[in-house]
Amino acid sequence: MSFVFKKLHIPGPILVESKAFFDERGFFTELFKGSDFVQNGIPMSFVQDNFSRSKRGVIRGLHYQLPPKAQGKLVRVLKGRGLDIAVDIRRASETFLKYVAIELSEDNNLALFIPEGFAHDFMAFTDDTFLLYKCTNEYSPEHERGIRYDDPDINIDWGIVEPLVAKRDADFPYAKNAEVF
C-alpha cells in the first residue's frame, strides 16, 4: 500500500500519508488511489478539484456546505506550508466545536480527509502556498455557509497577530448563531 491512514482524536477526519520514492531525479508519490481510500473509510466519489494559491498569513475559512450539498474534502499542500483545520459542526456530536489542526507541506506528504459535518479552514505559513483539495460534492452557493475564523467558542490558536482574511470570511457569524449540522 502506498498510503498510511491515521484516525485522529476527533472521529471523522483522517490523516493520510503518501509514501514517497526518492532517487537522483527527485521523487514519486501517489496522491490518490480509490481502492486504498475506500478500504480506509474515505469515499472515492470525488467530483470536483479545487486549487488555491495563498500568501503568508492568509486565513481561508471556516467554510462548509449544508445537506443535501454537504462536502467531504481531501486536502493537500503541493507547494509551501500551512495549517489545515477541521472543526466538528455536528450539534449532536460529543466533539461539537472541537477541531483538529494538521500542518501540511510540500515536504511532509500528508493530506487530511475532512468529512461532511466539519468546517474547513486553512492558514498559509509561506508565500505561494498551493493548496489542492478534492470534494465529494460540487460547489453550491445556496448551500455554502461559514463561521468566523476567530470564534472564541472554537478558540483556534493561529499564532498570528494580523492575518489576511477576506471580508466575507470576517463577516461570517459565530458558531452559536450559524446554521450548522
Q: How many domains does the chain have?
A: 1
Residue 26 makes CB contacts below 8 A (sequence gap 6+) with none
133 is catalytic: yes
Q: Is 120 annotated as catalytic?
A: no
CATH number at residue 140: 2.60.120.10
Q: What is the pLDDT of residue 70?
A: 98
How far is the C-alpha of 47 from the C-alpha of 137, rounded, in Å?
A: 6
Q: What is the pTM of this model?
A: 0.96
- Mapped onto helix, strand or coil, the DSSP state of residue 38 is helix
Peptide bond into 62 cis (omega under 30): yes
Predicted confidence at residue 85, as pLDDT, reads 98
The rounded distance, in Å, linking the Cα atoms of 25 and 45 is 33
| Structural domain boundaries enclosing 157 | 3-177
pLDDT attached to residue 43: 79
Does residue 91 contact residue 154 with C-beta atoms inside 8 Å?
no
Catalytic residue (one of 64, 99, 133, 149)? 133
Q: Which of 63, 64, 99, 149 is catalytic?
A: 63
What pLDDT, on a 0 to 100 scale, did the predictor assign at position 134?
97
Residues of the chain with pLDDT under 50: none
